[in-house]
Amino acid sequence: MQQKLAYLLISLTALLLIGCSDKEPKKFNLDQLTRVDIQEITPKSENEFVLMEEKDLNIIREAFKEVEWEPNTMVDIQGERTVEATFFYTYEENMPERLFVYEVYLMKNGSISLQSEKGEEGYGELSKEHAESLKTLFFRNK
């Protein structure tokens, strides 16, 4: 009986220590994407809007699954148009959202190049075929 009680106390202590850890997840999960803020940067003006509809978020999720990332790589990109996209991820209901910021570049050949602000993902490319859906969401004014 005492042995079972000891195992129970050790198990509860381990669960408490693991459950109360304040470390943020090492990898983001696209299914936890709840919102994307877009800020189009042009010499004349800045256009800002928010994407929160589930159909838009699903398009973004599918496109980002196709990005070919070069982790921890920073590249000087010269695109035709640029937006800054802030991704909001909700990991736990009562915890603050985690933010990931990307510079998104529309290239002249129709592809999209991405640069992660934090550098974990680094530099990424999205082929012209996969970029079409993101172009309509991210680059609204032309």
Q: Mind listing the pLDDT tens digit for each residue in 41-84?
A: 877 767 889 999 999 999 999 999 999 999 888 888 888 888 99
Written in H, E and C, the secondary structure of 3-67 is HHHHHHHHHHHHHHHHHCCCCCCCCCCHHHEEEEEEEEECCCCEEEEEECCHHHHHHHHHHHHCC
Distance (Å, whole) CA 139 – CA 10: 54
Q: Mind listing the pLDDT tens digit for each residue in 95-136?
A: 888 999 999 999 989 899 999 877 678 899 999 888 998 988
The stretch 15-26 carries a mean pLDDT of 50
Does domain 29-138 match CATH 2.60.40.4400? yes
Distance (Å, whole) CA 137 – CA 142: 12
Domain spans, the chain: 29-138
Any bridge partners for residue 87, and if so which? 36, 100
